[in-house]
Homo-oligomer: A and B are copies of this chain.
Amino acid sequence: MKRSIYLSSTDIEEAKRIFDDAIKSRLERRNTEIIPSESAYGRVIAQPIYARRSVPFYPSAAMDGIAIASNKTKGANEHKPLLLNTDDYIEVDTGDPIVDPYDAVIMAEDCIHSDLGVSIIKPHVPWENVRPIGEDVTEGELLFAMEHVLRPMDISVLMAANQLSIEVYKQVSIAIIPTGSEIRSAYDNVEIGDIVESNSYLFKGLAMEAHALSSTYPIVKDDFDEIRQAVEDAVKKHDVVIVNAGSSAGRDDYTVHVISALGKVLIHGLSIKPGKPAILGMIGDVPVIGVPGFPVSAHIVFEEFVTPLLLKLNHYPLLIPERIQAYSTRRIVSSLKSKEYIRVKIGYINGRFVATPLARGAGMMMSVVKSEGYALIEKNREGVDFNEVMEVQLNKSIIRIKNTLLAVGSHDLIMDVISNQFERSSQPYHLSSVHVGSYAGLLALSKKESALAMTHLLESNGSYNTESIRKLFSTEKMALIKGVKRIQGLIVEKGNPLDIQTIEDLTRLRFVNRQRGAGTRVLLDHWLKQKDIDSEKIIGYDKELTTHLAVAAAVANNVADCGLGIQSAATIMGCDFIPLGLEDYDFVCYADFLDDPKMQLFLNCIRSEEFKDVCKSLGGYDTSASGEVFIYD
C-alpha cells in the first residue's frame, strides 16, 4: 500500500489572491432578477433607484388649522384682528392637501373662533405652514445607489415613491456534497465504525448567514465515479459547490482527482492549522471547494474561503469579525509552518481580556461551541508566551463576554444547573465554566484568569479547601462560598458484575483515572496512601479523563471497569455507584467581588429552593450549607 501523504502548503493570503483572480470574470457577470419591492428586505439593489412619485405629491398642511389664500391675511395685527369670512377658509388637518385658491395654513393655536368665523392677529406669507411637493422625496431623485442593501425604512420609501418592483442581485446557490463510505445520515441507525454526517448542517447555516440558498446532496461513497457524477450535476445547477472530506491526499481521497478531471485545481493544501487539506478549484466558472472532514477544519476553511465567496457573489459587504487583544493564560506552542487558529475561552477579569486555549484537536466541535473566538497565531511564530497579548477573532459580542461570570476549576454537574438558572433569570448575565480541576482552578483565580474557582481539595488535616486558600492567597482577602457536599464513590458497570466494593479492588481491574490536580485524583491518591496501595499496580492509573461524565461514559462503554467519581454522573450514564465518602465542593472568589452583580446572581441561585430541588433530584448532594460565605483575610 502506498499513500501520497504530501500536500502543498500555500499561504492563506496567497491562496486568497489566486482564488480571487480565478473568480474575477464570474464576479463581473451580472445575475439579477426583478422582484416586488415589498419582499425585498435585505436584498441588494442592482440598478440605481430613482423616485417615481414625490412625497408629498401635493402641497399639504404642515399642521392642523385652516387653509387660506395668503393674500386674504394682509393687514391682520394684534391690535386689529382680522375676521376671516367662513367662505374664505377651510378646516384642515396635518397632511391635508392645500390647493387653489389656498396657499397657506394658519395653525389652530393662532385661530380665534367665533360664530362669524375665525379671527387672526398676523398676516401669512404664501406657503406658510405648507409642506411643499417633494419635501421628503422628490420625483426623479436618486433614492438608492447600486449595491445598497435594503433596510425596513428603505422598503417604506420605495412603496411611497411608487417603485413597486426593483432589480436586485439573485441570491447565490451552493451545493453541499457530503462524501465518505463510513458516513451515515443522522437519521439512520449507526453502528461502530460509522460516522454521523453533521458537517452539512454547519455549512447550511453558514451559507444562510451569507444569504445563500443551499442544497445538500445525498451522501456519496468514496468512489471516483460517484463523486464525479455528483459534482458534475452540482456545477450545472449551482453557483458554488463544496465537496466535504476526501480533500486530503490519502488512498480514499478522490476530491482532488474529480476536480482535476472536470476542471482545474488551483490550490491543494494550505499552511493553516486546522484546515490544511483544503482544495480550491474551478469547474468552468463554478468555484468548487474541497473542505476537510474534521469539523473545526471545515469551519475554518468555510469561513475563510466560502463565506467571502458567497457574500461577493451576492454583492453583500464582507462581514468583518470583531477582534480584541487578549492576554494568554498559557504558553501556546505553535507551528512555524502554519497559521494557527486556536479556539479560546475569553474572560473579562479586572478590566482586561484573558484567553485560555480550549482543546486543539481538529475534530472537537465542542471547542468551537464553547469558545468565544479564534486566537490567531501567524505563520513563522513559535507560539505565544504566558501573559503575552494575542489577537482573538470573536464569535460572541464583547458585551456578552463582559456580562459572563467565568468560573474555572473542578467539574460538577451543578455548574450546569446554575448556568440554566442564570439564563432563566431576567438579568443579562451568563455563567461559563471551564473544567481544569480544583488546584488549577485556584491557580487561575490567583493569576486573575477567572472570577470564581470551584474546588474540592482534601487537605492533610482532613479539612476541605481552607488551607489551600490560605496558602495560595496569603495576602488577599478571599471569600469561600460553601457549595454542596457530594458523595464520591466508584462508578461501575450496571449490576456490578465484577463485585467491586472498595479501593482495594482497583488492583484487579481496568481503571480509568482523572487528571493530576483534580480533587477526585487527590482523593484517590489520599485513599491509596491510606491503604498503602501502589498506584503502579492499577491498570489504567495513567489513563486520564477530565470530567466525571467522561469517566462514567468510559465505564458504560466497557472501555474501563471502574472509575472514581460522583453519583450524578453514574446515574446519567446508567452505571452503578458504590459510595465511599462525602466531600465539600465549594467556590472561591476575591472578597470584594462578592458585590459584583454577576456574583450576586450566583449567590441567589445557589441559595434558591429551585437549586436545592434540582440537586435532590440528581441525587448524591447535600445542600444544607449552600451559599454560606466565609471570609479569609
Beyond A152-B202, A186-B159, A209-B152, whether A553 also contacts B133 by CB under 8 A is yes
Interface members, chain A 511-543 (any B CB < 8 Å):
540, 542-543
A388 shortest CB reach to chain B, Å: 27
Beyond A41-B205, A58-B192, A196-B159, whether A366 also contacts B137 by CB under 8 A is yes
A141: B residues at CB distance < 8 A: 547, 549
A294 shortest CB reach to chain B, Å: 8
Beyond A136-B366, A157-B366, A416-B142, whether A201 also contacts B559 by CB under 8 A is no
In the complex formed, the residue of B with least CB distance to A153 is B368
A195: B residues at CB distance < 8 A: 56, 95
A569: B residues at CB distance < 8 A: 140
The answer, yes or no, to whether A295 is at the interface (CB within 8 Å) is: yes
The listed residue (B366, B416, B547) touching A48 by CB distance below 8 A is B416
When each residue 125-169 of chain A gets 1 if its CB lies under 8 Å from chain B and 0 otherwise, what string results? 111000111111111111111111001111111111010100000
- The CA of A277 and the CA of B100, in the complex, are separated in Å by 31
Contact B38 A156 (CB under 8 A): no
How many identical subunits does the complex contain? 2
Contact B201 A156 (CB under 8 A): yes
- The CA of A428 and the CA of B413, in the complex, are separated in Å by 48
Contact B159 A553 (CB under 8 A): no
The answer, yes or no, to whether A230 is at the interface (CB within 8 Å) is: no
The answer, yes or no, to whether A552 is at the interface (CB within 8 Å) is: yes
- The CA of A364 and the CA of B158, in the complex, are separated in Å by 14
Contact B201 A159 (CB under 8 A): yes
A625: B residues at CB distance < 8 A: none
Contact A164 B139 (CB under 8 A): no
In the complex formed, the residue of B with least CB distance to A148 is B423
A535 shortest CB reach to chain B, Å: 15
The answer, yes or no, to whether A93 is at the interface (CB within 8 Å) is: yes
Contact B147 A423 (CB under 8 A): yes
Beyond A205-B41, A364-B136, whether A153 also contacts B423 by CB under 8 A is no
- The CA of A270 and the CA of B601, in the complex, are separated in Å by 33
Beyond A164-B187, A549-B141, whether A133 also contacts B557 by CB under 8 A is yes
A91: B residues at CB distance < 8 A: 1
A193: B residues at CB distance < 8 A: 58, 96-97
The answer, yes or no, to whether A363 is at the interface (CB within 8 Å) is: yes
The answer, yes or no, to whether A84 is at the interface (CB within 8 Å) is: no
The answer, yes or no, to whether A116 is at the interface (CB within 8 Å) is: no
Contact B553 A154 (CB under 8 A): no
Among A3, A56, A195, max chain B CB count under 10 A is at A195
A201: B residues at CB distance < 8 A: 38, 152, 155-156, 158-159
A474 shortest CB reach to chain B, Å: 36
- Interchain residue pairs A-B with the least CB separation, the first 3: A152-B205, A147-B423, A140-B572
